[in-house]
Amino acid sequence: MGPLAGLRIVEMAGLGPGPFCGMLLSDMGADVIRIDRPGNQSLVGVSYDIMHRGRRLVELNLKDGAERDQARALINKADGLIEGFRPGVMERLGLGPETFEASNPKLVFGRMTGWGQTGPLAQTAGHDINYLSITGALATIGPREKPAIPLNLVGDFGGGALYLAFGMVCGLLEAKSSGRGQVIDAAISDGAAHLMAMMYSMHNEGRWNTARESNLLDGGAAFYETYPCADGKFISVGAIEPRFQKVLLDALGISTALIVHDLQAPENKKLREELARVFASQPRAYWVELLEALDGCTAPVLDMAEAPEHPHNKARDTFVTHQGVRQPAPAPRFSRTVPELQNWSQTEPVRADTVLDQWKRRH
C-alpha cells in the first residue's frame, strides 16, 4: 500500500509543517505513529483535521520518566523520526539524535524548524511570514503597494514540510546502503529560498525587477493575470507564449497587434484594459464554455467549495471522501504501488506497547 509501505516513522506532534510532513509519509504507505501529550487540542476539530489522517496516536507525557521511556522504545524501533521543536528541546528530553546512535544507528532524525538548527535566529520565535521575509520570496509577491501573504503554502508547506519529507526519503534511502542514519536539518527559510531558484536566475541575468507587478509572473504582464467577470467571479489567464496569446485574443475578438514582449510597452497596459473590458462583459461560466477547450491558457478561479466539483478534479479523483470528510487525495500517483489512505482512528489513542508488539510481529 504505497511506495513507503513497511517504513516505521515516529512523529512528535506539532503544528503546521510537521503534521503535514507526517501526512505525506503516511499517504505514501509509511506506518507513522504520532506522539502527542494527553489532552492536546488540534488546530481544528480532530474529526476534520486532514493533516492528522492516516496515522495512529500515542499519548505520552514526555516530562514523566516512564512515559518518556515508552517514547524512547518506539524511536528505537523506528526507521525515522520527525520533530518540530526549537533546537535543543529533544536533547533536554533525553530524546536527541545522540541518544540513539548506539541503540538505533540507522535512525533518520528529521528536524523541522523555521530558522534551522544553527544561525543567529535559530532560537528565535517566528512564523511562515517571517521565514519568507528573509529569503526574497515575500518581497516578490503581491501588488506594487505592499507584499501579499501567500497563505502559509510557500513557507510552512512548500519550503518546510515538502523539503523535510524529501530529506527523510533521501536519508532513508541512503541508510539502506550505508547502515547509518543521520540528522535532516529542514529549515523553512532554507526551503523557501530554494524554491526561489528560478526567480534568482532571472534576477542574476537582470531580467527580474525588484519592484512588484513589473515582471512576467508577478502580475506585471497582462497575459498572466486574473480578471473579474460580469458575475464577480474570476478567470485566470496564463498565456505566456505568443502562440497561446494569439489563440486567446482571437477567441475574445481582441487585436493580436497588442501582443507584446516588453512589459513596459504601452501595449501591455492597453491589452490589460481590453482583457478586463471583455471578461467583465459576461459571467465566468460563459468564458469557461468558450475557452476551456482552447489553448488560450485560461481557467476559472474556483473557491474551496467549487474545486472538488470541477469535472477534471472529479475525473481524476483529486478530492476524495475519507472517514466522512472531503479532502485532497494523496499525491503524486504511482502506477504500481498505489497509495491508499490508511484507516487509523484520529480520535482514539493506542498504547505504545501495542504498537511495539505489532512492529515486532510484523518484522
Confidence of residue 58 (pLDDT cuts 50, 70, 90): very high
Residue 213, in any domain of the structure: no
Q: Are residues 90 and 232 in the same domain?
A: no
Q: Are residues 13 and 153 in the same domain?
A: yes
Residue 29: the pLDDT is 97
Rounded CA-CA distance 52/42 in Å is 9
Rounded CA-CA distance 11/97 in Å is 14
Q: Is the pLDDT of residue 43 over 90?
A: no
Residue 311: the pLDDT is 97
Q: Which of 83, 237, 106, 279 is nearest to 177 (CA)?
A: 106
Q: Is the pLDDT of residue 183 over 90?
A: yes
| Pairing relationship of beta strands 224-228 and 234-238 according to DSSP bridges | antiparallel
Rounded CA-CA distance 358/6 in Å is 12
Q: Are residues 346 and 241 in the same domain?
A: no
Mean pLDDT of 95-118: 97
Residue 342, in any domain of the structure: yes
Q: Are residues 294 and 338 in the same domain?
A: no
Peptide bond into 300 cis (omega under 30): no
Amino acid at site 31: D
Of the listed 31, 79, 156, 218, which one is catalytic?
156
Confidence of residue 190 (pLDDT cuts 50, 70, 90): very high
Task: Give the model confidence (pLDDT) of 201-236 as tens digits.
Answer: 999 999 999 999 999 999 999 999 999 999 999 999
Confidence of residue 44 (pLDDT cuts 50, 70, 90): confident
Residue 47: the pLDDT is 76
Q: Are residues 266 and 181 in the same domain?
A: no
User: Residues 8, 12, 18, 22: what is their CA dihedral angle, to the nearest 10 degrees?
Assistant: 20
- End position of a domain, from candidates 261, 287, 303: 303
As separate numbers, helices (DSSP H) first and strands (DSSP E) second, the chain gives 12, 11
Residue 358 dihedral angles phi and psi, to the nearest 5°: -65, -40
Q: Is the pLDDT of residue 361 over 90?
A: no
- End position of a domain, from candidates 303, 320, 353: 303
Residue 41: the pLDDT is 73
Q: Is the pLDDT of residue 42 over 90?
A: no
Q: Is the pLDDT of residue 284 over 70?
A: yes
Q: Is the pLDDT of residue 92 over 80?
A: yes
Q: Are residues 259 and 357 in the same domain?
A: no
Rounded CA-CA distance 271/254 in Å is 8
Q: Are residues 246 and 340 in the same domain?
A: no
Residue 262, in any domain of the structure: yes
Q: Are residues 14 and 156 in the same domain?
A: yes
Residue 345: the pLDDT is 83
Confidence of residue 15 (pLDDT cuts 50, 70, 90): confident
Measured CA angle at 289 (ends 285, 290), to 5 deg:
115
User: Residues 313, 316, 318, 319: what is their CA dihedral angle, to the nearest 10 degrees?
Assistant: 80
Q: Are residues 46 and 156 in the same domain?
A: yes
Q: Are residues 118 and 24 in the same domain?
A: yes
Residue 2, in any domain of the structure: no
Confidence of residue 362 (pLDDT cuts 50, 70, 90): confident
| Pairing relationship of beta strands 234-238 and 108-113 according to DSSP bridges | unpaired
Give the number of other Cβ atoms within 10 Å of residue 150's Cβ: 16
Instruction: Look up the CATH number of the domain holding residue 350.
Output: 3.40.50.10540
Confidence of residue 363 (pLDDT cuts 50, 70, 90): low
Here the cell at position 291 is: 475557452
Q: Is the pLDDT of residue 46 over 80?
A: no
Residue 214, in any domain of the structure: no
- End position of a domain, from candidates 303, 318, 339: 303
Residue 82: the pLDDT is 98
CA distances in angstroms from 342 to 9, 97, 137, 349, listed in the order given:
14, 29, 35, 15
What is the residue range of 293's domain? Answer: 224-303
Q: Are residues 101 and 234 in the same domain?
A: no
Q: Are residues 236 and 177 in the same domain?
A: no
Residue 107, in any domain of the structure: yes
User: Which helix or strand (DSSP H or E) is residue 203 part of?
Assistant: helix 197-204
Looking at the chain, the whole-number percentage of residues with pLDDT higher than 90 is 90
Residue 69, in any domain of the structure: yes
Does residue 191 sit in helix, strand or coil?
Answer: helix
Q: Is the pLDDT of residue 116 over 70?
A: yes
On the 0-12 / 13-18 / 19+ scale of CB atoms within 10 A, 55 is buried
79 is catalytic: no
145 Cα distance to chain centroid: 27
Q: How many distinct structural domains can be found in the chain?
A: 2
Mean pLDDT of the chain: 95
CA distances in angstroms from 7 to 53, 164, 211, 286, 344, listed in the order given:
17, 16, 47, 49, 16
Residue 216, in any domain of the structure: no
Mean pLDDT of 100-113: 98
Kindly give, in sequence order, each residue whose CB lies less than 8 Å from that of residue 312, ignoring residues fewer than 6 positions away.
Answer: 318
User: Which helix or strand (DSSP H or E) is residue 112 part of?
Assistant: strand 108-113
Rounded CA-CA distance 363/358 in Å is 9
Give the number of other Cβ atoms within 10 Å of residue 97's Cβ: 16
Of the listed 49, 127, 185, 203, which one is catalytic?
127
Mean pLDDT of 32-47: 84
Mean pLDDT of 76-103: 97
Looking at the chain, the whole-number percentage of residues with pLDDT higher than 70 is 100
127 is catalytic: yes
Q: Report whether 107 contacts 78 (CB < 8 A).
A: yes
Instruction: Look up the CATH number of the domain holding residue 282.
Output: 3.30.1540.10
